Amino acid sequence: MSKEIWTFSQQPVKLTQLSKERLRIKVNKFIASSERLKNEVNRMDIRAGRIYLYQLVEQYTADRVDVEYIRPLIDGKYLEFPMARITLYDQDGIKCTADWIRHTGQWVSLTESNLDECLLFIEENPQWFN
């Protein structure tokens, strides 16, 4: 006799343009008020119901001519990498998850809460989001 397990996979919400702008303002305000995040987050992007935070990472092999990069370096020595992702399940950010990216490129949800608490979780956990 086989056991069947039902799982529920909730999909990210489709955001309206107004919701995107409202979320962009809220996240940028939080980043500007955070000592750690304002120094680490280079860029923020909202796509497909997710907020992505990017950081610049210095490449110490930038001056070597035998090393080729897939993407061009920013200012000749930096590459941009995703630092964190917030997946939204409603228009206002009441239900969302803070996600961390593994070295394999797979995203892992670390906490589920509202937008403010997810941003605070990202700020307070540099061991994950650095």
> Does 109 have pLDDT greater than 60?
yes
Domain boundaries, the chain: 17-124
pTM of the model: 0.81
Q: How confident is the model at residue 10 (pLDDT cuts 50, 70, 90)?
A: confident
What does the alpha-carbon distance between residue 55 and residue 79 come to, in Å, rounded to a whole number? Answer: 8
* Greatest CA separation for the chain: 63
Residue-level pLDDT at 67: 61
Q: How confident is the model at residue 130 (pLDDT cuts 50, 70, 90)?
A: confident
Between the CA atoms of 69, 74, 76 and 77, what dihedral angle is there, to the nearest 10 degrees? -80
Mean pLDDT of 38-54: 92
Mean pLDDT of 72-79: 63
Mean pLDDT of 7-17: 78
Instruction: Kindly report, residue by residue over 59-71, the tens digit of the pLDDT.
Output: 666 566 656 655 6
Residue-level pLDDT at 64: 62
What does the alpha-carbon distance between residue 6 and residue 121 come to, in Å, rounded to a whole number? Answer: 30
